[in-house]
Amino acid sequence: MESTFNSYQSLKTWKEEQILKYRSDISALNDFHDIIMKAVIRMALERTKKIERPSSWKFAWFTMGSSGRREQGFLSDQDHGLVFESGAAEAEKYFLELGEEVSKGLKAVGYPFCEGNVMSSNPLWCKSLSEWKEQIHAWMQEESLQTIRNLHIFYDSRVLAGEEAYIAELKSFIHVNLQKSPHLLTRMVETSMHMKKSVGPFGQLLAEEKGSHQGELDLKYAAFIPYVNAVRILAVKEGILDTSTIARMYKIMNINGYGGLGKYRNNFAVLLKWRLQSYRQTDAYDDTHYIQLKTLSISERNELKDILKDAKKLHQFVVRTIQKGAG
């Protein structure tokens, strides 16, 4: 399918015509996003052929964020990077240019640039395999809010073109170094486990009080992010390389001490379904994160409250687990 497109514009047109067919199937929707992104990569490789690139240069282009976790909704921004074979001095210039072309291509077909510049056009996210190891090691030594956040972002990486073994090697490198410095898991908790209060003292759902989303609930920061971050930390602790939150929970549940995660897995599946069903046609990425509470039935409101309360319980479980391991 992807080989039939020769311009970003034709790909964008096809994407817009087809994407709403996937309103009820998160897996099929993410397969569709993968098709679009792989087509962009193919066209970007064609467009950068003017720069001589020996065929022996191996690389991996990887996606991160909701795309890396296969949890994209209908509209999402860019989060991606590049890792290439060590040893070729000329490679950095080429792959940065490729990363820039991919970034421009994704923007052209409807994926906004990442506001945090987490893109393969940024030298921070485009490095050789040996440089990536040096950078990850430096992040872990610095332990700052930003470098630990970068570890979180990177751990959701999933290869869409090239050498999958590169990313597996780098994730294993993280796991091995965490075993040497278990206090870093505590830092991962400290830098990511902040929860937006979403249920009031009388059990009421707390909607936005003002602004363009008045009366709506921020589903991303009240629900999605707490589940995603908590499960990622457990995945890092146990050396699980899967990226999707649900796949991670399946693997974690097979490890002693984690058998009670089943309800959290089911909750997250419900959240994914709601995000698709509550989608509003919009070009504003932030708008896709909110749910209009007035559209929910009483039973749906009660279900949402339980999901939000369970997010706090999952948070507390992860904190206890990491503290126990560090103690």
* pLDDT tens string 131-162: 999 999 999 999 999 999 999 999 999 999 99
Between residues 90 and 25, the one the model is more confident about: 25
Residue with the larger pLDDT of the pair 214 and 97: 97
Report phi then psi at 323, rounded to 5.
Answer: -65, -40
Give pLDDT, residue 219.
86
Q: In the chain, what percentage of residues exceed pLDDT 90?
A: 62
With beta carbons less than 8 A apart as the criterion, state whether 174 and 136 touch.
yes
Pairing, β 59-63 against β 80-84: antiparallel
- Model confidence at 202, pLDDT cuts 50, 70, 90, reads confident
pTM (2 d.p.): 0.91
What's residue 283's pLDDT? Answer: 53
Q: Please report the pLDDT score of residue 287 as a whole number.
A: 59
Q: How many CB atoms neighbour CB 223 within 10 A?
A: 27
Q: Give CA separation, 86 vs 54, 83, 128, in Å.
A: 14, 9, 5
Residues 251, 240 contacting (CB under 8 angstroms): yes
Would you say residue 267 has pLDDT above 90? yes
**Mean pLDDT, the chain, whole residue set:** 89
Looking at the predicted structure, is the pLDDT value of residue 54 above 70? no
**pLDDT tens-digit readout, 210-266:** 878 788 888 888 889 999 999 999 999 999 999 999 999 999 999 988 988 889 999
What's residue 164's pLDDT? Answer: 96
Is pLDDT above 60 for 284?
Answer: no
pLDDT per position as a tens digit, 67-84: 999 999 888 899 999 999
Q: How many CB atoms lie within 10 A of CB 271?
A: 21
CA distances to 234, 245, 260, 284 from 256, rounded to whole Å, are 13, 19, 10, 43
Residue 281, pLDDT above cutoff 90: no
pLDDT at 52 over 70: no
**Token pair recorded at residue 252:** 């974690």
